[in-house]
Amino acid sequence: MGDQNQSVVDVKFFISKLSDAKVIFERALDCKHTEFDDLYPYMLEHPQFFWYKRYVAWSQLLTIAGLCEELSIPWKDEFSPQQVAYLEQRVMSAKVLDFWFEKNDSREHAQR
């Protein structure tokens, strides 16, 4: 019984971390503040900083989604089918940047 409770906690933990990573990525897309800004405050005035911040957030999102996949945690429910396709392709292309929010309401999450 302890193993079953542990599994439920693990699923909730990973889904929570995945949701957090999604919010961070969406905030990075919108050029909103994230913890990353606090790590490199001297870089804020450099235009390339925002690209780097997006790549770091994308990598974090891919890593957590990948762990969920390996652990058979149903992570895809947290995203639109289009976003799942982007994550499965793994490459943060211009298409991802331009159409991540299209036809879904996840932009509201970036308001946090």
For 69-90, write each residue's pLDDT tens digit.
999 999 999 999 999 999 999 9
Contact 92, 54 (CB under 8 A): yes
Q: Residue 103 — pLDDT band, cuts 50, 70, 90?
A: low
Any idea which residue has 């974090």 for tokens?
60
Per the structure, the count of domains in the chain is 1
What integer is the mean pLDDT of 46-54? 89
Please give the mean pLDDT across all residues of the chain. 87
- 104 vs 17: which has the higher pLDDT: 17
**pTM (predicted TM-score):** 0.81
Question: What is residue 97's predicted lDDT score, i.e. its pLDDT?
Answer: 92
Q: Measured between alpha carbons, how far is 83 from 98 in angstroms, rounded to an integer? A: 12
pLDDT at 20 over 80: yes
Range of the domain at 62: 2-111
pLDDT at residue 34 is higher than 60: yes
d(CA 103, CA 10): 30
